[in-house]
Amino acid sequence: MWSNFFVQQDEEGRFGVAGPGQGGGLGGMKVGRGQRRTHKMSDSQEGKIKLAFFVAIVGVILTVLGMGTEFWVELAQPKNFSNNQTCQMAHYGLWKGCIRTLWVADIDPERTSCGPADLPGDSNCTYFKFFTSGENAVIFKKTTNKNLNLAAAVLALLSLTMMVMGSICITMSLSKGVPFFLKPASFCFILSGVLVLLSVLIFHQSVLALLSSDHSVPLHHELSWSVACVGSAGAILIFGGFLFIILSLPFSPWQKCLPHKNSTT
């Protein structure tokens, strides 16, 4: 009975078993030894992934730059508030705040408040204590809301963690040559961008809470260039995440939306 069966070996070294009267039906069932089907990405797709990764890296750099600086908001007293030759203003970020003493003569005559912060003067910077001892900071007799400040800082750190995870996924995808890690990378970058924007919104609410805590000292406030960096970074990260989603699709969305029309139609 066993003589009616034979073993077929194909050109790739895989084996199949065929029985009598089956016309090679079972012979088509080939058992691969230690082989997996992997879809390698093409050179053009790899180039597109690198370009999208560069866009995401720009967002990461802007986020780190904004998080590490203390120019999220500027609080300025009226320049003639003390009736002397100097005036004071403050600027702070997620981790640290600074009080600057500027010369009134250096301020633009058309400007009513003290500032801007880039003028020469004395500066006194300290880190916020609500990260260590839980104490609120007092800026010009106004008290910070530590819960809102802590929430903004935690969201910023979580967004930075998601950026690192997304970068690891893209690095693995490029090193292995497979697009499998593009979808988790897109999720990480989109979520990091959303968290960055939420951090900016909560920080703005903390500034409003600071201003409403005391009205004895009039202050002029404006969001500074660090917030502009972080807000731009959030939009860039979300855009980069959507680029990775498009690149992870098994088909080209441009060909689906704009099908090629040959000259005969």
Inside any domain, residue 167: yes
Q: Say yes or no: 159 and 209 in one domain.
A: yes
Among residues 193, 246, 247, 242, which one has the least CA distance to residue 60?
A: 193
Q: Say yes or no: 23 and 149 in one domain.
A: no
Residues near 221 by beta carbon (within 8 Å), at least 6 away in sequence: 73, 74, 75, 76, 207, 211
Assign 135 a pLDDT band (cuts: 50, 70, 90): confident
Per-residue pLDDT tens for 199-225? 999 999 999 999 998 888 888 999 999
Question: How many domains does the chain divide into?
Answer: 2
Q: What is the C-alpha to C-alpha distance for residues 103 and 25, in angstroms, rounded to an integer?
A: 93
Per-residue pLDDT tens for 156-181? 999 999 999 999 999 998 888 777 88
Assign 46 a pLDDT band (cuts: 50, 70, 90): confident
CATH of the domain at 158: 1.20.140.150
Domain that holds residue 145: 43-75+131-249
Inside any domain, residue 229: yes
Q: Say yes or no: 184 and 243 in one domain.
A: yes
Inside any domain, residue 257: no
Question: Which of the two residues, 254 and 140, has the higher pLDDT score?
Answer: 140
Model confidence, pTM:
0.77
Residues 162, 241 contacting (CB under 8 angstroms): no
Inside any domain, residue 90: no
Q: Say yes or no: 141 and 202 in one domain.
A: yes
Q: Say yes or no: 172 and 199 in one domain.
A: yes
Within 10 angstroms of residue 163's Cβ, the number of other Cβ atoms is 25
